[in-house]
Chain A
Amino acid sequence: MNVLKNQGVKNFILLRLPCVGRVSPTFFLKALALGITRLVVIPCEEDYCRFKEGSRISTRRFLAIQNLLHQLGFGKDVFTIIRKLRKVHIDTNRCIGCGDCAYICPYDAIKIVTPGVAQINLNVCSGCGACAPVCPSIAIIPEGFEYESMSRSISNYNSFIRKMKSERKTPMVLVFCCQWSEFSALDKNQGDLSKDNVVILEIPCSSRVDSLHILEAFYSGFDGVLIVTCKEGECKLEEGNEKAKERVLSLKKLLAQVNLENRLEICFTSPKYVGEFDTYISSFLEKIGSLSKNS
């Protein structure tokens, strides 16, 4: 949001997309016709597209629109493009130099430098956040998906869950959704999902899924946690789904000690498998429902 603030934008409507390559020029023209005074597009940097050249295709399209708008007599700043990629930062005061982040980084962006602290090369970092959940001292700060802010948004549900549970007897489920995998779930009317007591939290890549956040979800009263990631070999980043799978398996061992291992699941799907996510979520809800009845 700081990006918009820097542009002097105060009131805005946010439209989130999996890829800017998805937007057709007529959309922008229609928006302007509706009376919207300014359009700001925030695509990835040129070489960072998770899909096939989405940012390059859109760049060509944007330039054409900009030209067209100029000819139609619109001002220069009516259509702005800001290239921005969320990156990861390291709090060197907390870093203990263990090297776990340097090992897991799929882009080799992190090095341990003397005197034993991690240093990140932001030109190479692509902001997947795989390093954050392996840091033993929580020193890694993925922009927009910081440990503290995610943790706060989970614990904020605490009172809501208590209220919901006293009103209805249905279980509450938290879904960690990789933004590249089941993004159509994010498009979905949240009302539909919250009717079933499902809360969706978006993460930049399933490798960002943090065992602490999962534990916090159970601690705050969620009855089940589902992690949604892409199918094997379809990760838009670097095998983030594999990392998430390993993490879930090792966390299940810990959870078994407090009888929660059946309440955590990972599912592999993406929008191209139409309806799969709905099937997963409804069977998961059913399973959690029957578990809650028994306990």
Chain B
Amino acid sequence: MIVTKEKPLEEILGFLMPHKRILIVGCDGCTQPPRGVREAKTYAMLVEMGGKLKNREIQCRTTTVAKQCDNNLCATTLTSQVKDIEAILSLACGVGVQTLSEVFPDIPVYPGQNTIFIGSQERESGTLYEKCKACGDCLLAETGGVCPITRCAKQLLNGPCGGQAKGKCEVGGWKNDCAWILIYNRLKDKGRLSEFTKFREQRDFRISQSPREINETEEKTEETP
């Protein structure tokens, strides 16, 4: 899922100050921690109370969209709700904010979150870890299920380098695990060390060149004879 972190209220109030009637839109999609209607209501109260501290009357309404990255869903869910709205505060990732501002070009849309990474959630410790960089050329089949692009600070394709000691990485102060030591241990356990010793040539970075796009309809028509 896409992991986001709340922006400080001070910053949000900074965007919203010129406006009076605000719609706070949650996202029930993949944002993690979930930013649904509960989060929207929480923000509504914080923004209104924070506004009062600055002698500013702000009125918030709240709603949520099944996933804010779908322009059709946003339009059908929100069009009836934005009639007298001066600004939208989106609680989705950066994608949701951009989708909303394309769907409603006349209304300013502000981000309530900083989008951090694509990651996984460890419930027990309540920690979210970055696991994928969306590089477009997945290597996981031959690296024992550990991504060196995301989890190696140097994105090495043939590791480990000399910057590891006792399985920890020099980048970030010896706190993070060395991805290549993890990969080695995994492959050794599975008896697949031949994959570890295989030399991997330089990646084609053109695949990761932003902005990327995929047109599903075109791809399908190309395939038909």
Q: Do A and B interact?
A: yes
- Residues in chain A within 8 A of chain B (CB atoms): 96, 98, 100, 103, 135-138, 211-212, 215-216, 218-219, 254, 257-260
Query: Top 10 closest A-B pairs, CB basis?
Result: A136-B34, A136-B36, A257-B9, A137-B36, A96-B28, A215-B45, A258-B49, A98-B34, A136-B38, A219-B45
How far apart are the CA atoms of A254 and B50 in the complex, in Å?
11
- A214 to B: closest C-beta gap in Å: 10
- Which residue on A lies nearest to B50, using beta carbons? A258
List CB contacts (< 8 Å) of B28-87 with chain A.
28, 33-39, 41-42, 45-46, 48-50, 53, 64, 66
How far apart are the CA atoms of A136 and B39 in the complex, in Å?
7
How far apart are the CA atoms of A219 and B49 in the complex, in Å?
7
- Which residue on A lies nearest to B49, using beta carbons? A258
- B96 to A: closest C-beta gap in Å: 15
Q: Are A258 and B46 in contact (CB-based, < 8 A)? A: yes
Q: Point out the residues of chain B lying under 8 angstroms from A259, CB to CB.
A: 53
Q: Are A254 and B42 in contact (CB-based, < 8 A)? A: yes
- Which residue on A lies nearest to B66, using beta carbons? A96
Q: Are B46 and A137 in contact (CB-based, < 8 A)? A: no
How far apart are the CA atoms of A254 and B48 in the complex, in Å?
14
Q: Are A258 and B36 in contact (CB-based, < 8 A)? A: no
Q: Point out the residues of chain B lying under 8 angstroms from A100, CB to CB.
A: 34
A-B contact count (CB 8 A): 56
Q: Tell me which of A103, A137, A218, A254 contacts B38 (CB under 8 A).
A: A137
Q: Point out the residues of chain A lying under 8 angstroms from B66, CB to CB.
A: 96
Q: Point out the residues of chain B lying under 8 angstroms from A136, CB to CB.
A: 26, 28, 33-39
| 11 additional A-B residue pairs with CB within 8 Å, beyond A103-B123, A257-B9, A257-B50 | A96-B66, A136-B28, A136-B35, A136-B39, A137-B28, A212-B38, A212-B42, A219-B49, A254-B46, A258-B53, A259-B53
- Residues in chain B within 8 A of chain A (CB atoms): 8-10, 26, 28, 33-39, 41-42, 45-46, 48-50, 53, 64, 66, 123
Q: Point out the residues of chain A lying under 8 angstroms from B38, CB to CB.
A: 135-138, 212
Q: Are B42 and A257 in contact (CB-based, < 8 A)? A: no
How far apart are the CA atoms of A100 and B34 in the complex, in Å?
9
Assess A215 versus B42: contact at CB under 8 Å? Given A96-B28, A259-B53. Answer: yes
Q: Are A257 and B45 in contact (CB-based, < 8 A)? A: no
Q: Point out the residues of chain B lying under 8 angstroms from A103, CB to CB.
A: 123
How far apart are the CA atoms of A227 and B83 in the complex, in Å?
40
Q: Point out the residues of chain A lying under 8 angstroms from B41, CB to CB.
A: 138, 212
- Which residue on B lies nearest to A97, using beta carbons? B28
Q: Point out the residues of chain B lying under 8 angstroms from A257, CB to CB.
A: 8-10, 46, 50
How far apart are the CA atoms of A221 and B41 in the complex, in Å?
17
How far apart are the CA atoms of A219 and B44 in the complex, in Å?
10
Q: Point out the residues of chain A lying under 8 angstroms from B9, CB to CB.
A: 254, 257-258
Q: Point out the residues of chain A lying under 8 angstroms from B53, CB to CB.
A: 258-259
How far apart are the CA atoms of A100 and B36 in the complex, in Å?
13
Among A135, A136, A137, A212, max chain B CB count under 10 A is at A136
- Which residue on A lies nearest to B10, using beta carbons? A257
How far apart are the CA atoms of A257 and B36 in the complex, in Å?
21
How far apart are the CA atoms of A212 and B36 in the complex, in Å?
13
Q: Point out the residues of chain B lying under 8 angstroms from A211, CB to CB.
A: 42
- Which residue on B lies nearest to A256, using beta carbons? B9
How far apart are the CA atoms of A275 and B49 in the complex, in Å?
35
- A23 to B: closest C-beta gap in Å: 40
Assess A218 versus B34: contact at CB under 8 Å? Given A96-B28, A212-B42. Answer: no
Among B28, B39, B48, max chain A CB count under 10 A is at B28
How far apart are the CA atoms of A258 and B36 in the complex, in Å?
22
Q: Point out the residues of chain A lying under 8 angstroms from B28, CB to CB.
A: 96, 136-137
The contact sample of 15 A-B pairs, CB cut-off 8 A, is: A96-B28, A103-B123, A135-B38, A136-B35, A136-B36, A136-B38, A137-B28, A137-B64, A215-B45, A215-B46, A219-B48, A254-B42, A257-B8, A257-B10, A258-B53
